[in-house]
Amino acid sequence: MKQENSSSKILYKKLIFRRVFFSLLCIILIIILMGTSLSLGSAQISFFETYMAILNRIFPGYFNVSNLADIVIWHLRLPRTIMAIIAGFIFAMTGCTIMAITRNPLATPYT
């Protein structure tokens, strides 16, 4: 009985580790893809200049960013990208809720 209990605890800890690892990986991937999305467009702004424009608002004076990059990133591209991320989160939560309400087997916590 004790051996069964300890092996189930180990399996549970592995499951929790995989879920946390997957969540952190998704967050990192969203941050990288957000920078890529912000750097694409008709104004030629590099990937690193995009992050410098964002960090310049958070830590003023540490990064030298052109006025064009600052305006394009903060007033045009960043609101659109943030709204797309929020819409994706809302669609994911809605889909999960619908699957749980209709008792779809894909919505079980064991999959």
- Of 1 and 83, the structure prediction assigns the larger pLDDT to 83
Distances (CA, A) of 60 to 27, 37, 56, 71: 25, 23, 5, 15
Residue 8 has what pLDDT?
84
Q: Render pLDDT for 56-105 as a digit per residue (tens, 0 to 9).
A: 988 988 889 989 999 999 999 999 999 999 999 999 899 888 888 887 76
Q: How far apart are CA 21 and CA 18, in angstroms?
A: 5
For residues 36-65, average pLDDT: 90
Considering only CA atoms, give the Rg of the chain.
Answer: 21
Residue 61 has what pLDDT?
85
In this prediction the pTM is 0.74
